[in-house]
Chains A and B, each alone.
Chain A
Amino acid sequence: MKIELEDTLDQLYDIEGIEACMLYRIDGVPITIRVPGYREHLLETMFWLEKHISRVLGEMNREGLKETIFYFRNNRILIAPSSRSTVLVTVAKAEANQQLISLETLRATKFIEACVT
């Protein structure tokens, strides 16, 4: 894995309010994750993502969406495709600055795309 890719994830994870960020392959296989140790609700979210991410991406592709947001309990899950085969997911707390997180996530997708293509 390229160092730039790890750094991009690290920088995103450092933003206040982001509880976790994960880079998935489009078939739902996690490539790399940043999580604060064991959290049951995050584990549930990750299981859900692994199972449904390819279907969500299919729908996004059909609708021409650049990002999709789901709300699970107190978390806001932002799904943003980062290249043809990868997708970036950020899990943010409800009270976090959502606009900043959206912008930073989309910015990170550009770096990831440059790394993996």
Chain B
Amino acid sequence: MITEKFKKVILDELNLEDFDIQDDTTADQVPGWDSLNHINVILAVEKAFNVHFKGIEVLKCQNIGALQNLVNSKLEQK
């Protein structure tokens, strides 16, 4: 389940007013989220939630829901 905060971080980073993000939405469906911008989104998420991802953890994410789960699991470990 995509939280409001998580969604807002992504939209702010990509300068989007609004965009419907669901668990199975993939990065390339979101306007502006291309391979170059990808890293900025990841850094923004890390900063907003004060977590640190391992490279392989992010690479394994196949959709935005998986990234949300990754954030959740990092927050639980805290």
- Do A and B assemble together? no
